[in-house]
Structure 1
């Protein structure tokens, strides 16, 4: 993994938090919208491919304009763009859907969304960014809430599914770590555009060689009791849950850093439960509501811990004068 800059001072933290929430909420729409397409005969691979491809087409012009004619940041960061597209986009999507073919959705999501803990561990072991006690307490609250939200009663684990889910977790962790890079010179729009283009190309290759089955349907989709054309659902998936979600995610990571942004990202799970209720009529159980409150509390506590860390002045070592110097 390329060097992370999460330890550098950040500006615009309020805006970063708002952008992170927008990113989490827009990402969370993908599940309920995709579920409507699955019911009409769409395969997960087809939905993911079309979603990412539309996102790439929508964001790419803005990413090019953001460069202002200077393509040197792209040339300097080709490896980063390839890693972002391969891990943060393609691997995250492909590995998750591969995991749910072998295990239940709840455990797969729990493993994938353990990514904030992986981000914390990476920054601690690789960059010496040890989390404070408040941050650790927030991690514990959020983890407990995530277990309740996903409602894992009676869940079974499959070794192959666990391996794929861990792959998705690595992809999500890379997404947050690379979003937080402030030393690349790449505008957020350009990073998001490059990642989506690379991700779409890799997913298209997987579909072309038959590794990722792709089937679709022109049948309309039923959402929230309304009949919606399939193209409208696909457009929403591409523009909102890929284009807007990735752009705001990069912008949030630049302002917050990898660790805080990854924990705000847990709101995606809570928001997905809400949208499943709105669009699919899947009423959340009381235990899931309690879990959602715990996740929210954990995110708030983590943000407070990170803010306290930023306010702590650096330790200045006293200067020792050489012996005999007046």
Structure 2
């Protein structure tokens, strides 16, 4: 019986890793698609808002089908779903774009991608899951790899307000991993993604309508390294592949891998972003960035080796906020 359980766990881990890498690849292409739109005159706020609405609409029907006869679960966990939409989607996107408006993108990304460390600390304080020595070494190695990949020492300017916005994006990213890993809710992954993206879309639209998030868009053709495309092609690509598919794969993988390990595997998104930046925009990573990517992968392996044998999601991993919260 023990062997059967171990085999099932191994299969779940392997499939979870495949889903996690798929999510990282999907998320990683969003920057390249969006950069083309922004070079064509779109504001970052308009690009991310359209991205979220396309994803929310794509997942609307599958979400409704997945929730047939299960609306009681939605009511029971309405607070969690709302907080997921507001923090894991809206705050993560809005805070990041506010950060890059006043500071270099590389430094903002570096701060946001400290989310795995925040996840480790939360699980340590909340569940008493003290990371092992190899896990802590892996976190440090992965962090150093990010520093090399993002090249923050090449004239990056530090703005205190920007740092605060980037920390807000980090909280949103950490919330994404912690809540995506909750399998005790009974919410199908596609439903959590669909409802969260719908709430996030509404939040970003409100931010745009109130002037917090500048909105500018057009219907000009969009140029990429491989050719010019009608504006709706990158819009659909970034919404369907880099958002809808990415969020669903991310939730599925986090439930199978656990919040901690999944958050470190997600660092491969930076590697994917560099790859798609080269394929789509001709932005070729240098040797230092390649070295950083190798360090990230080594760090991820060390984090996995430093995990407990059993890494199951605990219903208490994230507290149920009072009233209508998370």
Fold conserved between structures, TM > 0.5: yes
1:65-214 equivalence runs, <5 A: 65-153=65-153, 154-214=155-215
Stretch moving more, 63-72 or 190-199: 63-72
Q: CA deviation at 1:11?
A: 6.9
Write the distance in 1 (CA, Å) between the matches of 2:10 and 2:181.
10
Task: Please give the per-residue CA displacement for 1:221-277, whole angstroms capped at 9, x wherever unaligned.
Answer: 111230011100000010011100000011011111100000011001111011111
The SS at the match of 1:12 is helix
Question: Equivalents in 2 of 1:10, 1:166: separation in Å?
Answer: 35
CA distance in 2, matches of 1:298, 1:58: 35
Q: Which consecutive residues of structure 2, in runs of 5 or more, have no partner in the other structure? A: 1-8, 312-326
SS in 1 for 2:87: helix
Partner of 1:25: 25
Determine the C-alpha separation between the residues in 1 that align with 2:68 and 2:256: 22
What is the TM-score with the length of structure 2 in the denominator?
0.90
Structure 1: 4+ residue segments shifted above 4 A = none
**Counterpart in the other structure of 1:321:** none
Partner of 1:320: none
Distance 2:219 2:139 in 1: 44
Contact 1:30/1:241, CA 8 A, preserved across alignment? yes
Distance in 1, matches of 2:222 and 2:134, equals 45
- What is the aligned partner in structure 2 of residue 310 from structure 1? 310
> Post-superposition shift, 1:10?
9.0
The SS at the match of 2:309 is helix
In structure 2, do the counterparts of structure 1 residues 10 and 211 end up closer, same or farther at CA, with 3 Å as the change threshold?
A: farther
Instruction: Kindly report the root-mean-square deviation, in angstroms, between the aligned alpha carbons of the 2 structures.
Output: 1.3
Structure exhibiting the larger radius of gyration computed from Cα positions: 1
Deviates more, 1:25-34 or 1:148-157: 148-157
Which runs of no fewer than 5 residues in structure 1 stay unpaired?
Answer: 1-8, 312-326
Write the distance in 2 (CA, Å) between the matches of 1:221 and 1:87: 31
Cα deviations across residues 280-320 of structure 1 (Å, max 9, x unaligned)?
A: 111111100000011111112212222x5329xxxxxxxxx
Asked if the contact 1:22/1:248 (under 8 Å) is kept, the reply is yes
Instruction: Look up the match of 1:323.
Output: none
CA deviations 1:120-153 (Å, max 9, x no partner) are 0111112211111121121111111010000112
1:10 touches 1:257 (CA, 8 Å); kept in 2?
no
Query: Any idea what SS the aligned residue of 1:222 has?
Result: strand
Aligned to 2:15: 15
CA 1:44–1:273 in 2, change beyond 3 Å: closer, same or farther? same
SS across alignment from 1:310: coil
- What is the Cα deviation at residue 114 of structure 1? 0.4
Determine the structure 1 residue equivalent to 2:263. Answer: 262
Aligned: 1:297 with 2:303 = no
- 8 A contact 1:10–1:256 mirrored in 2: no
Q: Does 1:53 align with 2:49?
A: no
Relative to structure 1, is the Cα distance of residues 10 and 182 closer, same or farther in structure 2, using a 3 angstrom cutoff? farther
Matches of 1:101 and 1:70, distance apart in 2: 42
